[in-house]
Amino acid sequence: MNKAFFGLVAVGLPLSIIGTIFHWRSTILFIIYCVTIIALASYMGRATESLSIVAGPRIGGLLNATFGNAVELIIAIFALKEGLISVVLASLTGSVLGNLLLVAGLSFFLGGLKFKRQSFNIFDARHNSGLLIFAVIVAFVIPEIFSMSLTEEKTMVFSIGIGIILIILYLAALFFKLVTHRGVYQSQKESVESDEEAPEWGKWKAITVLGLATLAVAYVSENLVHTFEEVGEAFGWSELFIGVIIVAIVGNAAEHASAIIMAVKNKMDVAVEIAIGSTLQVAMFVAPLLVLISLLFPVSMPLVFTIPELVTMVSAVLLMVVISNDGESNWFEGGILLAAYFIIGIGFYLL
């Protein structure tokens, strides 16, 4: 797996640079960029993981929380710079949907084909359920509804207020998990297991890889954003579809792979943590951060999704809350999540 990613970077990055310089056709560039970003993301993931182990659980948790969705953040910043507000909101929607339905769905489904019943930490699942309802239903739906009777300026003020509250609550959640209640809700077995890990790379090698990969992702992302319009025309895809489905899959490919691997190894705790943790990170950290960052650009981004985006996110959250509520999974629960993802995918394609 790692070798394949090395090959992809070794080929994809030069091709990205050459193709950009010589203005190859957008559709070809789009594919090259996407593949390169996915391969680079795997390097960022491995570097972050090594650093986390070296730094110990607290700083490690913080690092994972910050760099876990770095790729999406970078792509989104370049899209913001271009004023593509609706693409950014669509890609945030796509991340939420992709993680909750596609990543978790595939994990439950493929894990469930191998094991009849898989279980995960029920306390974490319930803790996450509360945050999902908060982030998606309180923090996303309410500004949309209120914005209907607010001026644009007031909507932006409201968005900034919500953004700050989301980030504070996200940091509080980390503090809760890593400091005040570390291990409180863990079973004995889990706490023993976690000692064994050894980092893949040393501290400085990890930092170097992380820095270089981030730079490369930034370079490719900036160019990727410019291809959206032409690619949309070529394939008959709307901006919404590109944002919700394509960008989200590219931005989250690393999580997809690792969650599924964990599920097939019957480490369902980790798979669920990746899928739902990543969703929460996007909703409670990446999204509000982008609102604040957008203030630096000419066009600022309010936290106002479209109705189809909100309805699909709310459905996905309710589905996940009900399905994860018992701390168990099987192939059929995975099937439900995947079926929901297909329905939503068709919907955004037609829109």
Q: List residues near a second copy by CB under 8 A.
A: 116-117, 123, 126-127, 129-131, 133-134, 137-139, 141-143, 145-146, 148-150, 154, 157-158, 161-162, 165-166, 168-169, 172-173, 176, 180-181, 184, 307-308, 311-312, 315, 318-319, 321-323, 325-326, 330-333, 335-336, 339-340, 342-344, 346-347, 350-351
Of the candidates 252, 250, 221, 253, which has an alpha carbon nearest to the alpha carbon of residue 84? 221
Q: At closest approach, how far in Å is the CB of 320 from a second copy?
A: 9
Torsion of CA 284, 289, 290, 292, to 10 degrees: 130
| Complex with a second copy: residue 49 or 273, whichever CB lies closer | 273
| Complex with a second copy: residue 78 or 285, whichever CB lies closer | 285
| Complex with a second copy: residue 152 or 193, whichever CB lies closer | 152
| Complex with a second copy: residue 253 or 283, whichever CB lies closer | 283
3-state secondary structure of 183: coil
Q: At closest approach, how far in Å is the CB of 98 from a second copy?
A: 15
Q: At closest approach, how far in Å is the CB of 182 from a second copy?
A: 11
Q: At closest approach, how far in Å is the CB of 129 from a second copy?
A: 5
Measure the CA–CA gap between 41 and 217, rounded to whole angstroms: 8
Q: At closest approach, how far in Å is the CB of 50 from a second copy?
A: 29
Report the chain's terminal Cα–Cα distance, integer Å.
36
Q: At closest approach, how far in Å is the CB of 125 from a second copy?
A: 10
Q: At closest approach, how far in Å is the CB of 65 from a second copy?
A: 15
| Complex with a second copy: residue 72 or 124, whichever CB lies closer | 124
Q: What is the largest CA-CA distance in the chain?
A: 58
Give the orientation angle of helix 268-281 with respect to helix 152-175, to 10 degrees.
150
| Complex with a second copy: residue 6 or 146, whichever CB lies closer | 146
Of the candidates 144, 154, 160, which has an alpha carbon nearest to the alpha carbon of residue 313? 144
Measure the CA–CA gap between 12 and 220, rounded to whole angstroms: 10
Q: At closest approach, how far in Å is the CB of 165 from a second copy?
A: 5
Q: Tokens standing for 159?
A: 């968005």
| Complex with a second copy: residue 6 or 332, whichever CB lies closer | 332
Of the candidates 8, 3, 70, which has an alpha carbon nearest to the alpha carbon of residue 38? 8
| Complex with a second copy: residue 28 or 138, whichever CB lies closer | 138
319-322 long-range Cβ contacts below 8 angstroms, 24+ apart: 319/100, 319/101, 320/100, 320/101, 320/104, 320/129, 320/132, 320/276, 321/129, 321/132, 321/133
Q: Are 227 and 19 a contacting pair, CB within 8 Å?
A: no
